[in-house]
Amino acid sequence: MKKGKRRQAHIQTKHVIAQIAMLVVALILLAPILWMFSTSLKPNDQILTAAPNWMPHPISFEHFHKLFTQAEDFPVARWLFNSAFISTTVTLLALAFTSMAAYAFSRLHFKGRDVLFMAVIATMMIPSQITLIPSFLIVQKLGWFNSYQGLIVPGLAGAFGVFLLRQFFLGIPVELEEAAFMDGAGPAVIYWRVVLPLAKPALAALAIFTFIGAWNDFVWPLIITNDISMRTLPVGIMIFQGRYVTEYGATMATAAVCSVPTIIAFLIFQKRITEGIAMTGIKG
């Protein structure tokens, strides 16, 4: 009995130490991001100080103010709309397309299925820089240069989503679908009524991956648009990130503006993400 108590206390101490360690690790991982926000809120004369000052005092919005007023002709609101619209559309369409493909790869039987699937997966190993110029030429041939289609459609072709969802669908018990089949449901109905509702967590995870990826994309939106009104927010904002700019306050304000939307998107979806991945049961 006594021994058990001591052991209990021992375990307690261990847990306390582990929790402290975790807190420290979490703070270290968060520190760069906090430092970014802190620097962006400081007036210039507080930035290059000898001892780092984590709390700006006084808080100054001058860098943000400059960022948005320096560009009087620049349609920041339009860029924000473009980014939100493009990322949302890419996310929704990619979920639809990849989930359908993943359903075919995991549930339907047809000749050459596995070979086709492996070919799709293998394209993940091809550096995207190789396909940049060919894709550019194709978009131009289609007459999609400088258009929303050109910004959206190529973003729907990623193989990661197919891989992720296929793994997830494989983990869903077939019995559920067999019951629906007995009731006379065809594959389309099963996909829509049975598989998709069960896959909600995985779809949420893929949604956030896709949204973040589309929001943060830089090279493609830059080369495929010419009109200033067709720019996305990261591309438009990065214009102020000049080569010779050594003003860290302004730079960090730029960085903060670019990351706040994805941080918000993540906070909204974060609960569903872990559920999503926890249920994929990824198998090698």
Partner 1 sequence: MNKSQWRTAAMFLMPYGVVFGIFVLLPVLYGFYISLHKWHILAPKPEFIGLRNYKLVLSDDLFRIAFARTAFYVAMVVPLGNALSLLLAVGLNQNYRGTTFYKVAFYLPVVMSVSVIAILWRWLYSAEFGIINHYLSQIASLGHQIAPAISPAALKPQWLNSPATAMPAIALMSIWWGAGGNMLIYFAGLKNVPRELLEAAEIDGAGPWRRFWTVSWPLLRPTTLFCLVMSVIASFQVFGQTYILTGGGPYYSTLTIILYMYQQGFGLYQLGYAAAVGYLLFGTLLICTLIQFKLLAVKQ
Partner 2 sequence: MNRRGVLILFAAALAFTLCGCAQKKISRANSVIQLEFWNGFSGPDGTTMERIVREFNAKHPNIRVRMQIIPWGTYYDKATLGLAFGGAPDVFVVHADRLPEYADRLVLYDMGELIETGGLDESDFMPRPWNAGAWNGKHYAIPLDCHPIGLYYNTELFKKVGIVDEAGRAKPPTNLEEFLDAAHKLTIDTNGDGRPDQWGYVFTWFRTNYYTYLSQFGGDLLTSDGRESALNSDAAKRSLNLMREIIYQRHVAPGPEGQDAWIGFLTGKVGMALEGIYMLSSLEGQKNLKFAGAPCPVFGDKPGAWANSHMLVMPAKIDPAKRDAAWLFIKYLSDNSLAWAKGGQVPVRKSILNSSEFSSLSVQYEFSKQLPYINYMPSSISLNQALPFFDAAVEAVLCNMKSADDALSEADRRIDEVMNRQ
Binding interface with partner 2 (CB under 8 A): 45, 48, 70, 73, 85, 88-89, 92-93, 96, 133, 136-137, 140, 145-149, 152, 192, 196, 219, 222-223, 226, 228, 238-247
Task: Find out whether 225 and 144 touch, Cβ atoms under 8 Å.
Answer: no
Total chain residues near partner 1 (CB under 8 A): 86
Candidate list 198, 204, 224, 255; residue touching partner 1; CB under 8 A = 255
Instruction: Tell me how far, at minimum, the Cβ of 135 lies from partner 1, in Å.
Output: 5
For the CB of residue 52, give the shortest distance to partner 1 in the complex, in Å: 5
Tokens found for residue 15: 């847990």
Asked if 203 and 95 count as a contact pair (C-beta separation under 8 A), the reply is yes
Among 1, 55, 130, 182, binds partner 1 (CB under 8 A): 130
Q: What are phi and psi of 242, to 5 degrees?
A: -70, 165
**The Cα angle at residue 43 between residues 40 and 46, in degrees rounded to 5:** 100
Q: Which of residues 150-209 bind partner 1 (CB under 8 A)?
A: 153-154, 156-157, 159, 162, 186-188, 191
Residue list 11-70, contact with partner 1 (CB under 8 A): 15, 18-19, 21-22, 25-27, 29-30, 32-33, 35-36, 39, 48, 51-52
Nearer to partner 2, 73 or 114 (CB): 73
Q: Considering beta carbons, is residue 124 or 239 the nearer one to partner 2?
A: 239
Q: Helices (DSSP H) in 108-225: which residue ranges?
A: 113-122, 128-141, 148-152, 160-170, 174-182, 187-190, 196-198, 200-216, 219-224
* Min separation Cβ 254 and partner 1, Å: 8
CB contact at 8 A, 155 and 214: yes
**Between residues 84 and 279, which has the closer beta carbon with respect to partner 2?**
84
Residue number with CB closer to partner 1 (78 or 272): 272
The distance of Cα 268 from the centroid of its chain, to the nearest Å, equals 12
Which of 104, 204, 207, 224 touches partner 1 by CB under 8 A? 104
Residue 95 binds to partner 1 (criterion: CB under 8 A):
no
Query: Does position 222 bind partner 1 by CB under 8 A?
Result: no
Q: Does 277 bind partner 1 (CB under 8 A)?
A: yes
Task: Report d(CA 281, CA 284) in Å as an integer.
Answer: 10
1 or 48: CB nearest partner 2: 48
Q: Which stretch binds partner 1 (CB under 8 A): 55-63, 66-74, 210-218, 224-232?
A: 210-218
Residue with Cβ nearer partner 1 (13 or 73): 13
Q: Which residue's CB is nearer to partner 1, number 115 or number 267?
A: 267
Count CA atoms within 13 Å of residue 184 on its CB side: 0
Residue 204 near residue 269, CB atoms below 8 Å: yes
Please answer whether residues 169 and 207 qualify as being in contact, where contact means their C-beta atoms are separated by less than 8 angstroms: no
With the C-alpha atoms ordered 241, 247, 250, 253, is the resulting torsion angle positive or negative?
positive
| First-to-last C-alpha distance (Å) of the chain | 46
Could you say which of 41, 195, 199, 212 contacts partner 1 (CB under 8 A)? 212
Task: Answer yes or no: are the C-beta atoms of 191 and 105 closer than 8 Å.
Answer: no
